[in-house]
Amino acid sequence: MIDPAAMSEEALRARLLELRQDHADLDAAIQAVALSPLPDMMLIGRLKRKKLALKDEIVRIEDELTPDILA
C-alpha cells in the first residue's frame, strides 16, 4: 500500500488512473467468472474483496487530492 500523503499530486493522479483501471478490470473478471456455467464462488469472493480494497485506496487518494473545504 502506498502512502498518498508522501506522493506528489502528479504521482497521485497517475496512481488514481492505474487503480481505476485495475478496479474496472476486476469488475470485468468478476462478471466473466459469474457468467461461467459453474461459477467459482470462492474466486468471486476473493476478487470482490480485492476490488473493495482498490476502491478504498481510490477514495483515500481522491480525498488527498480534494482540498478540505471545512479546514
Could you tell me the mean pLDDT of each successive run of 10 residues in the chain, 71 residues long?
76 96 98 97 98 97 82 54
Q: What is the model's pLDDT at position 42?
A: 98
Taking the C-alpha atoms of residue 28 and residue 40, their distance in angstroms, rounded to an integer, is: 15
* pLDDT of the residue at 44: 98
DSSP string, the chain: ---GGGS-HHHHHHHHHHHHHHHHHHHHHHHHHHTSSS--HHHHHHHHHHHHHHHHHHHHHHHHHS--TT-
Domain boundaries, the chain: 7-63
